[in-house]
Chain A
């Protein structure tokens, strides 16, 4: 049985025709997964629910465009990762705009009064590492980021990625290889000038 004719496919079609109960079922089925993905990428616990709400609002408004080429969760996964990086990009812009209005002394003072979770020192290696990876991932394309996240974070195989994207396995391997090369180069640049990127 293909995905479109599966039980979940029927649920999606109901949501596409405007059935609010079907949409509610989708939210309840995948909300934990979405919260987990966001928790993995974004550190600010206060913003996790806001991003999750935005993800499901996007799902609601674009479900009609869902074309069954991937599973629903893969589609939601992409939306979630994009929302997280969009959030991080906006936060960075907000911070840069705010800091551009301050003197150097004021910037230093503000940085020292931020909650400790926001300027994680090396003491918490896991958080520092996560910060570092997020900065690197922000430097590759959306497609490359999604492929890397699905492979490395979600643990999908090359075969599964080929099924999800409709590309052949060799294309997936080449795309992953190029994405990894870009990450390595970005890491080298970041290590040379760590002050250049503010998270």
Chain B
């Protein structure tokens, strides 16, 4: 489409009077004429989407919107627990179970550590061999049962 048509196309489609330059080009240019005709047809077809009359909302519409808003409102964990006691109980039970499992794991770890070798010779044997035997002797000498 040529610029002269493009510049005034919206006014033309709205039904506003077009300048002489515009109509003269449209008369002489077959390509622009065909394209504008297609757009004109669609422009009037789009008018079919205009609602024929003012539509009144049914009574109680706001109340139903408010209910929908309430349903779709993102809920916090606390509000879910308060609104649904069964869900709250499940959350509390799961928390206690997690706490018990984690607690027993920690206690087991602590016991394993405490149950390690107490004998100084065994402790020394677990360590890497010292380069200096004097250090090992000093350690053994400082041991108090």
Q: Which residues of A contact B (CB under 8 A)?
A: 20, 24, 27-28, 31-32, 34-37, 39-41, 48-49, 52-54, 56-57, 60-61, 126, 129-130, 132-134, 136, 148-149, 151-153, 157-158, 173-174, 176-177, 180-181, 183-184, 187
Contact = CB atoms under 8 A, between A and B. Distances in A.
Contact of B46 (A35, A54, A152): A152
Binding site secondary structure of chain A:
helix
A126 B35 CA distance: 24
B45 A153 contact: no
Given A35-B56, A53-B64, A60 B45 contact: no
The contact size tier of chain B is 20 to 34
A162 B62 CA distance: 33
Nearest to A25: B62
A133 B68 contact: no
A177 B57 contact: no
Q: Which of B35, B46, B58 has the most CB of A within 10 A?
A: B46
Given A27-B62, A31-B61, A184 B38 contact: yes
Contacts, number: 102
A149 B51 CA distance: 12
Contact of A35 (B55, B62, B65): B55
A197 to B, nearest CB: 15
A141 B109 CA distance: 62
A32 B51 CA distance: 11
Contacts of B106: none
B55 A39 contact: yes
A1 B92 CA distance: 56
Contacts of B10: 151, 158, 173, 176
Contacts of B7: 173
B54 interface: yes
Interface string B82-103: 0000000000000000000000
B51 to A, nearest CB: 4
Given A32-B55, A40-B50, 4 more contacts: A24-B62, A32-B57, A57-B68, A181-B39
A19 to B, nearest CB: 13
Contacts of B66: 20, 24
B125 interface: no
B95 to A, nearest CB: 31
A177 B9 contact: yes
Nearest to A130: B48
B49 A36 contact: no
Contacts of A40: 49-51
B62 A54 contact: no
B49 A180 contact: no
A187 B38 contact: yes
A41 B56 contact: no
Contacts of A184: 35, 38-39, 42
B92 to A, nearest CB: 31
Nearest to A185: B38
Contacts of B68: 53-54, 56-57
Contact of A134 (B38, B49, B58): B49
Interface in B5-27: 6-7, 9-10, 14
